[in-house]
Structure 1
């Protein structure tokens, strides 16, 4: 019993730390100029997000690319970014879902979490989404190419779950490594990312976009 209590206590502590991190990110979000944030949203969602909007980005790495990046673990990657009005909070909530297959192992892996606007530290003015996974699960940052046709996803570590093993023990981290730090994903029809959505109502809305 004591051991079980300790496990729960540790889990609560980890989530509390993640909540503190999320709050700190919200503070960063508030500091971003609203005009710059709105302009980034227009670019991300190809127009004002409105009540609900999606942006889907996909990359299936071909043999030539993988030959040039022999240490890359990822074989395919799908990224769905969502924006939804929250009238009760007079704000917009942003979230992401990430799907991955690996080149040398079977199975489909995914992750998800919430995002906030942030300034890119390299330039000091470029806006991107900083997205995190609860309970210290890492996360990704999402920027856009100059022509808005691609998403630039950067990661250090993000916790992924095997869809065929729906339990907490199935989670594992995708670490950046030598060839898994930056991913350029091509903009695609939102329906390309439908497999990442589990809620039926949201899936129906996505398929009608």
Structure 2
């Protein structure tokens, strides 16, 4: 999937695990970015904001999409003020359950604002996983009640085996290219968070 970005994020995270701040204001103008943030996070950003989206696909949906590998998905998008850098850092966490196998699989990375010209100049978050691990784009439905996640490939890890040997790629097949996930209480996405302080903050949203 090819998107036209107005400006590429300034730096990529190193494979050793160092994180980079995504300069969202340089990808689109500040007013456009702020308007999208207001929609994504259901209000102005504070020191930290979360948006949680969840979908559990029922038997009827899966019967109509026999090639879909994912049976459930949770998406947590976060924004954190970084006053020392005079910017806002955006990140995502993704959790999936597969249709024909057991276990929970997760991924995460950093995001920046982008414009997708093939979708009528739609504003999205373009989110990537370190070390060429693929990623997702995240847009919003017109009523802001759902997120539209698109992928071509993304590296996932078995939650119970968090090492490189436990990683695998979720590839966009015939029924795994676009996912519509519905807005939910932030606590629905608590299982995707491992940091105790962040988990406490999320549960008080």
Write 1 or 2 for the structure with the bigger share of helix: 1
Match status 1:181 vs 2:183: no
- Residue aligned with 1:43, SS: helix
TM superposition shift of 1:15: 4.8
Give the TM-score, by structure 2 length.
Answer: 0.88
1:136 to 118, 132, 150: 132
CA distance in 1, matches of 2:153, 2:123: 21
Match status 1:74 vs 2:67: no
The aligned residue for residue 7 of structure 2 is: none
CA distance in 2, matches of 1:31, 1:86: 17
The aligned residue for residue 154 of structure 2 is: 158
TM superposition shift of 1:34: 1.1
The aligned residue for residue 36 of structure 2 is: 40
Instruction: Determine if contact 1:29/1:118 at 8 Å carries over to the other structure.
Output: no
- Residue aligned with 2:176, SS: coil
CA distance in 2, matches of 1:89, 1:110: 29
Query: Unaligned 5+ residue runs, structure 1?
Result: 1-13
CA distance in 2, matches of 1:29, 1:68: 41
The aligned residue for residue 94 of structure 2 is: 98
- Residue aligned with 1:155, SS: strand
Q: What stretches of structure 1 move > 2 A for 4+ residues in a row?
A: none
CA distance in 2, matches of 1:109, 1:184: 18
Q: Structure 2 matches for 1:1-209, cutoff 5 A?
A: 15=14, 30-209=26-205
Structure number with greater Rg is 1
Length, aligned pairs only: 190
Partner deviation per Cα, 1:30-76 (whole Å, 9 max, x = no partner): 14111111000000000011110000000000000000000000010
Partner deviation per Cα, 1:114-135 (whole Å, 9 max, x = no partner): 0000001214532100000000
Instruction: Determine if contact 1:15/1:136 at 8 Å carries over to the other structure.
Output: no
CA distance in 2, matches of 1:121, 1:207: 37
Aligned-residue CA RMSD (Å): 1.9
